[in-house]
A = this chain, B = another copy of it.
Amino acid sequence: MAVYRVLIVVFVLFLTSSFGESFRLKARFPNQRTSDHEIAAKKTICPYCKYETKYYEQKLDHFNFEKNETFQQRYLVNRKQWKTGGPIFFYTGNEGDITWFANNTGFMWDNAEEFGAMLVFGEHRYYGETLPFGKKSYESPKYLGYLTSEQALADFAILIRHIKVTFPGAKNSPVIAMGGSYGGMLAAWLRMKYPNVVIGSLAASAPILQFQGLTPCEDFYRIVTDDFNRDGGKPCTDSIRKSWDIIKKLKPTESGRRILSKVFRLCSPLQSEDNVTVLEDWLSETWVNLAMVDYPYAASFLEPLPAWPIKVTCSKLQNEDLPDIALLGAIADAVGVYYNSTGKTKCFNTSQQAVSSLGDKGWYFQACSEMVMPLCTDGKNDMFYPQKWDFESYAKGCQESQKVTPLQYWVETEYGGRSLEAHSNIIFSNGRLDPWYAGGVTTSVSSSLVAVIIEDGAHHLDLRHKNKNDTPSVIRAREIEKHYLHEWIATYNENDTKKVLF
């Protein structure tokens, strides 16, 4: 969910921004997949991943003392392996139901015993059950104003204090923040803004540099293209690159759209050019998602997929010289790897406009306020259709759809951009296959701001449960990460004063 949502929204915003006229921010979240996630969230993936569900009363606005409204923040706790005074691994929840993250962050469960660690998963405000205004939370920008990363970080800092003060034996426990994707950004930022609260952070696939002026906007899609090149060669990427022009040619006419509907086995026939735009977005999104979940074993992170799914996808795209319609047919087959690995999907759903999950709505608001991540393509160095980054039209779209004006430079000022030298004790892990690698911290800044690269890893592979098909690079990455965690904890424990870190 983490990544998925980050990606999707940014991706969608990007795509739509150059379409100019309509800002279809609400498109592109097929309910079907959202529901899958919701089901997944309720399933406990590992049998020993059991937690208590707790709630803490948080201030709605930590930065305004005239306001006294509060809400219940959900958090999950496992103390089974915890030894009194032992560390607390605190997952900084991202834009979704916290149970989903608890179930998809195997690294914490796998290592609880070795560290004698308490596991805590803090839910991000406005997601899952942590809805400050209940069902009304998404009804108006007025309610959504309190959905910011700064407020979420303050929630986490205060929740950690609460846990240390109220859980017997936890007063002197060192706390380490962990998170992936947006949750990884929050883990890094929590250490940066509240180094008194967490002794260090594991920020997995955290694109804290995917902001204005910090990272070339084209890097993201080039990585996706490189992944497809790596596993499928030029025939694969050329097939995809060619497909856009073919679709473009068929787009304006009714007969063309009929062909597209048929070739792509769409549940609802394409009625308009706008519908075709949605199809284009859906295809782009699929290629990106495949790059994010290109794991070495069969997994169901976003969708149930085979091992190395890009390899399987590209196996359907090995002849870029096919006639137009046949090439589109191959594209449809390739897309089927992502949406129809079970073979049960009768038709594809690209045009569902409704956003059923609160998580999606929340991220739309965040992407339209502070989380403005520029992305672009040129169609030459990447396999996508060319799209410039255009902040003005992005902003216009946000104003229209979210009634909010995005801030182009706020995140850089608030969280430091590339000026990270003053910070310490953060591991930035990045999968080389992950498009979000582009905006990650991929070079160590100092001996305690460490970049860990997982050569054949996709989006926060290291945070997942260990697996017999794990590649040496992710096994090594986890070892390095554990080395630092042990080191931080030892340094903290050597400190005689045993200060209570609040």
Contact = CB atoms under 8 A, between A and B. Distances in A.
Interface of A: 61-68, 141-142, 144-146, 148, 150-151, 154, 157-158, 161, 193-197, 369-370, 403-407, 409-410, 412-425, 499, 501-502
Contacts of A424: 422
Contacts of A150: 62-63
Contacts of A425: 422
Contacts of A194: 413-414, 416
A194 B423 CA distance: 10
Contact of A146 (B64, B415, B417, B422): B64
Contact of A409 (B145, B193, B369, B502): B502
A316 B61 CA distance: 52
B66 A195 contact: no
Nearest to A418: B499
Nearest to A497: B418
A419 B64 contact: no
Given A196-B419, A416-B195, A425-B422, A64 B148 contact: yes
Given A145-B64, A407-B65, A424-B422, A412 B502 contact: yes
A425 B422 CA distance: 9
A66 B197 contact: no
B63 A416 contact: no
Given A61-B63, A63-B150, 20 more contacts: A61-B64, A62-B150, A64-B145, A65-B148, A65-B369, A65-B406, A65-B407, A67-B145, A154-B414, A196-B413, A196-B416, A196-B417, A196-B420, A197-B413, A409-B502, A412-B502, A418-B499, A419-B499, A419-B501, A419-B502
A501 B421 CA distance: 11
Nearest to A158: B413
25 contacts: A61-B64, A63-B63, A63-B148, A63-B150, A64-B148, A65-B370, A65-B404, A65-B406, A66-B144, A66-B145, A66-B404, A68-B405, A154-B414, A157-B414, A161-B409, A195-B423, A196-B413, A196-B416, A196-B417, A196-B422, A197-B413, A412-B502, A417-B502, A418-B499, A422-B425
Contacts of A144: 66
Contacts of A151: 63
Contacts of A405: 65, 68
B65 A195 contact: no
Contacts of A501: 419
Nearest to A369: B65
Nearest to A425: B422
Nearest to A151: B63
A115 B396 CA distance: 45
A412 B158 CA distance: 10
A65 B161 contact: no
A61 to B, nearest CB: 8
Nearest to A448: B422
Contacts of A66: 141-142, 144-145, 369, 403-404
A161 B68 contact: no
Contacts of A141: 66
Contacts of A404: 65-66
Contacts of A68: 405
Contacts of A62: 63, 150, 410
A161 B63 contact: no
Q: Which 9 A-B pairs have the closest CB atoms?
A: A66-B145, A195-B422, A65-B369, A196-B416, A196-B419, A64-B145, A66-B141, A63-B63, A63-B150
B65 A145 contact: yes
Contacts of A64: 61, 145-146, 148
A413 B502 contact: yes
Nearest to A191: B422
A301 to B, nearest CB: 30
Nearest to A154: B414
